[in-house]
Every structure is written in C-alpha cells, then in structure tokens.
Amino acid sequence: MSLIEILGICFGGNSAPSRQASYLSADEASNMPLDAFLQRSLESAPSALEQNGAFADIFQKHIQGGADAAKIVRIVQDVLARLAGNDTDRATTQWACQVLGILAQGNDNERENRGCYQPPQMPATNYAQAVGTDNNGWQTQESKQRPQQQKKSGDDNVYIRSYFFPSEDSFNALINFIEAANSTLDICVFNITDNDVARAIGDAKKRGVNVRIITDDEQLKCQGNDVERMREQYGIPFKTDSDPSKFMHSKFAIIDRRAIWTGSYNWTVSARRSNNESAICTNDPNTAKAYSQEFETLWKQF
C-alpha cells in the first residue's frame, strides 16, 4: 500500500471506533531511539501536535544525525496502515505529514550544502606522497580517537592505520584515500549513499582513473543510493550479486592495486555521522594482492 493510499484511508470516513491515544511527553520522546520515537509519536499524535516545536526539534536532530530517510518512510507507512481509520487518526496523519515535511526540508538543505564540503588539501604528486610513509601530509588526517599503528616491517614504507567512526577526521582519511588513486580504484561495498564519497569517486573517474564498483543488489533500491547515478553521470561500471536470498556484504576498496581500505564502515551518511564503525588502511603488499584477487573473483562471478 502506498503512502498516498494510506493517507486516503485516514481521511476517508472509515467507521472504525475511535482510538484512544496515549500521552507522550517531549522529555520522554527526546530519550528514544529513532524507531521508537516515530512509532510512539505517531501513536500519540495529539501529544506531538500539542508539543509541536519540541517534537519537531527532536526529529530534526535525528535527521542531522544521519537518519535513513527510506527507513523513516517505511516506519511511517507501517504505523499509518495499522492505525488509520478514525478521528484520532486524523491527528496521526497530520503529524505524519509534518514528519515527512521536516524530512524533506532536511534533504533539501543537504542538497544545497553538497557543494560546500572541502576535504583538506593534500598535494598527491605521486603515490608515496599520497599513501606512503608516516611523515607525509596524509598522516595529519588520522583519527584522533585512537593512536595509529605502524606495521613493523623491514620496509619502512609499509603501514597499517586504524580509523574509527563517527569522526570527520576518519572520513577525511577515506576521501584522501580515494583521491590518491592514480590508475585504478576498485570498490566493493554493501551500499553507497554519501554524496561526498560519490563525488570523490566521480572525480577519480574524471581524472582518468579506471573505477569499478561491486555492491549489493537489494541496496540499489534504497533511497539515496548513488551507484546507478554514478554510472549514469560518470560512466562508472558496477556489478551486483543479483541474489535476493543473500547479501554482498564485503566493504573494501583497493587503489592502484597497492593499498586497501576495509572494515565495518559502509559508505553511507549514517555510518559517517552516527554509527560506531571501524576501518583500517594498509599498503602491505600481500594484503593488497589478496584483496585485488578477491575483487577480480567477484567481478567475474557477478
């Protein structure tokens, strides 16, 4: 059932008995995770409307924290479908419309600000300057949350660096990693919804880097997914697992077949701004070779 059909039911004179809505205070709502806040505020819509400003501020904070818009819409649809049909539910519908309106406004603001992000400038005149030893400019982008670990090796240029999220320093390290690609950029991730990441990938393609993407087939259907858009806008090829019974859940990238980025981190806004995620980056030759071979195996398989 579509959202329009659900709203139609709410306004459509259903003769179901009136539902008694429970009271929800703004203080209680402010301590709820997003899922519970949406469900309880819709179930207690008269309370939300009475405290409209406070509830709008709570929801806006969830959006600013990287809330998944598609997930919000699904929750709203489910609750409306369950509750629709009487006078109390008209208030539910009114509050639901405000929820979606706030969400749309937040998305519009994000679109307006997309051109404002400027990752720290780092002259990548060659690969060593971009991702080589610890005394180069990229090291200054390391996460402040944990000390970086230098791999003990006979080759002083071999490193392993750790990054933790949410952290803009860690995110900047990912952007700089992508920008350091000279010839190839192979990406194998579950989902890409962060427009800043998509822009960095597109810029790599425009400067002549051979870019390929492997991703999960179901994630292509999610609101905000950037993979198909990058193919249309930049000509970047991609492949999916094409199997709805399982996930393509790997999360790694290889630049120039010499350095890799991998970890729990999905390339999404929520992972960047709100999730507890981790990643490592290394130019260890054996590790880079293994990940390159895995990418080629998946590329042929899919």
Residues identified as active-site: 249, 251, 256
The end-to-end CA distance of the chain, in Å, is 33
Q: Strands 238-240 and 210-215: what pairing?
A: parallel
Q: Is 49 exposed, middle or buried (0-12, 13-18, 19+ CB in 10 A)?
A: middle
- Nearest-angstrom CA–CA distance, 19 and 277: 42
Q: 220, 256, 269: which is closest to 113 by C-alpha?
A: 269
Residues near 103 by beta carbon (within 8 Å), at least 6 away in sequence: 59, 63, 69, 72, 73
Give CA angle at 274 (273, 275), nearest 5°: 115
3-state secondary structure of 276: coil
Handedness of CA 179, 184, 190, 195 (dihedral sign): positive
- Nearest-angstrom CA–CA distance, 84 and 264: 39
Both tokens assigned to 257: 């077949």
Give me the amino acid identity at 132. G
Whether the bond between 17 and the residue before it is cis, its omega within 30 degrees of 0, is no
- Nearest-angstrom CA–CA distance, 128 and 160: 15
- Nearest-angstrom CA–CA distance, 197 and 2: 31
